[in-house]
Structures are given as structure tokens and as C-alpha cells.
Amino acid sequence: MLIELDQNHFWFVILNNALAHTTPAVEAYAEQQRDRLELVYRPTYSSHLNLIERLWRLMRSQATRNHFFESLNDVAEAAVNWLDTLPFTQFCSLMGIDEQPLAFVNKHFS
């Protein structure tokens, strides 16, 4: 168990609202361990907490929205082609990461 790793710490565990996380057994366990454990449930749809959603939103708006694709392969090809045109700096910005430590990646794909 997580709380057994270090019994001197208070643990916050962030969960989604999957059925397995919201059972009476989970709630009962959390209640029993309330002095060492707090379960924090994310909102049902929390795209602002998942930065990849920013990349998907931009890709959909620029590459796949309002397009008919004959096959899944065609969708995948459109997505890969779009990623090839996305500037590395913009990718890092969308993902909320510092591009400086990744400069070697940028050189590889430039």
C-alpha cells in the first residue's frame, strides 16, 4: 500500500472518477485512513489538467476537423504530416515544457 511506504507522511492521491475509484470499499478505506490519506477526485472532464489536450485541439482544428477520411490510416497519415509541420517551439509551448533541455531533439528533427 502507498501509505505503508512512509507512515510519517500524509498522502494526497489524485484519482479520476472511474468506477473502480468510487466504490464503497474505496470510500471506506479512505475513511479508515483519513489521518494519513486524502482522496482527491478530478473533475469528470478536466482537459486543462492534461496539456496534451492543447496539442490535440490544435491538430483537430488544423488537420482533421471538417475533413472526411476514407480510413483510419488516412487519419493517422494526416496527423503525422501535421506534426511534421508543427514548429518545435510551438510544440513545447503547447505542452508546457522548456525547450532548452530538448535542444538535441530539435536538431534531430530539423
Core vs surface per residue 6-32: b (16+ CB within 10 A) or e: eeeeeeeeeeeeeeeeeeeeeeeeeee
Give bridge partners of residue 37 from the DSSP assignment: 11
Q: 62 and 80, same structural domain?
A: yes
Q: 35 and 75, same structural domain?
A: no
Its domain, for residue 76, covers 49-109
How do residues 26-38 score in pLDDT, each as one tens digit? 999 999 999 999 9
Select from 36, 28, 29 the least CA-distant residue to 12: 36
Select from 90, 94, 12 the least CA-distant residue to 106: 90
Q: 7 and 59, same structural domain?
A: no
* Rounded CA separation 95/55 (Å): 7
Q: 92 and 66, same structural domain?
A: yes
Q: 37 and 74, same structural domain?
A: no
- Looking at residues 39-55, what average pLDDT do you find? 81
Q: pTM above 0.85?
A: no
Q: 19 and 56, same structural domain?
A: no
